Amino acid sequence: MTPEVAGRQLTIAPTPTAHFGMGAIGKLGSLVEAAGGRAATIVTDAGMLATSVIDAVQGELDAAGIPFIVFSGVHANPDHRRPGGRR
């Protein structure tokens, strides 16, 4: 990541709003609560599941008392040559 981007935060405001950047995961609990959420589903692939990013997401949800489940059956980088991106 270039230095110009690494220290910045970016918020894209579709519905729902997407938050990116340093410290964004720390806002997760309050954002879920503000949206009226009572539970969450973390959707990821096996590669991301093995990283500290998903651990941080789980930690923030735990700290906010928000129950969650993890679905890690997503396939990274689908193959466009086969229907449905299946390999």
User: In this predicted model, what pLDDT tens digit does every residue of 22-73 receive, in sequence order?
Assistant: 999 999 999 999 989 999 999 999 999 999 999 999 999 999 999 999 999 9
Give dist(CA 42, CA 69) in Å, integer.
6
Which residues lie closer than 8 Å to 21 by C-beta, 6 or more apart?
8, 9, 10
Residues near 8 by beta carbon (within 8 Å), at least 6 away in sequence: 21
The pLDDT of residue 9: 81
Task: Please give the pLDDT value at position 76.
Answer: 72
Q: How far apart are CA 39 and CA 85, in angstroms?
A: 29
